[in-house]
Structure 1
């Protein structure tokens, strides 16, 4: 077997590193500098184009505050997989980047708004479930309007 070829696992690990790096608001250059490689090499790691040596994988995990097992997708640390799971949701990585780019005062407002939206969505979901499949068209429109 040719050990120089990358595998799906290499691409998966690279994608996890990219998600965690973005969540920490770190650039590829910053990660590369911290582990002793160029940003181009870090980019190759994240794309799964180049295998990551164990010592570098350990350095990346420490920098991102997760275990090496978290990079492989194994459940060992408390927060790592929760973050990875969240960041796989469409738009989540962008949300994290936007959140990190604003002042603490704006963040408080964003959290309040997000909590309010989640509360309204939960109420609408409960109402939709209570209405059941026999809901009339007007009731469905009212529930849908509550989500907007």
Structure 2
């Protein structure tokens, strides 16, 4: 009989291969996404919830699992509902999420919302104070994307 101390059930905990749980990685990436969209540093987020920036880093990588009370604190500080951290999680079952996250073609870099360029673009877009200009830029961006045009000068 295997000792209960230190043993993990096959349906819970982290995979035995030593990699972070894919669900923890997804939740951590959503924390990073929201923090970055707000222009908040890991240090500032850590201060707001009583952690060091190293602990925030571990959460964002999925190396440390985020408990329910900490997730609630994060949702308040980052001004999002708790469900935000689970949004865009594909798969109907935890096994689907695990399989998808462990597949070689999936990863954090595959998400365009995780790229700094995207985050900077979104921040700059919302700094445009005139709603009419913002709407025109939005329409132009959609038109360029839909036409397959490589540069804006081809549109003008």
Q: Is the 8 A contact 1:22 1:97 kept in 2?
A: no
Q: Any stretches of 5+ residues in structure 1 without a counterpart?
A: 75-86, 129-139
C-alpha distance in 2, partners of 1:109/1:13? 34
- Find out whether 1:63 has 2:77 as its counterpart: yes
Report the alpha carbon displacement of residue 88 of structure 1 after superposing the two structures with TM: 2.0
Which residue is 2:120 aligned to? Answer: 94
RMSD: 3.6
Deviations 1:69-109 (A, max 9, x none): 221227xxxxxxxxxxxx72753212245568xxx6xx337
Change over 3 Å in CA distance of 1:4–1:35 after alignment to 2: farther
Q: Is the 8 A contact 1:17 1:71 kept in 2?
A: yes
Change over 3 Å in CA distance of 1:121–1:39 after alignment to 2: closer
Larger radius of gyration: 1
Q: Any stretches of 5+ residues in structure 2 without a counterpart?
A: 1-7, 89-111
Higher mean alpha-carbon deviation, 63-72 vs 31-40, is at 63-72
Query: Which structure features the higher share of helix residues?
Result: 1
Change over 3 Å in CA distance of 1:14–1:115 after alignment to 2: same
TM-score (norm 2): 0.57
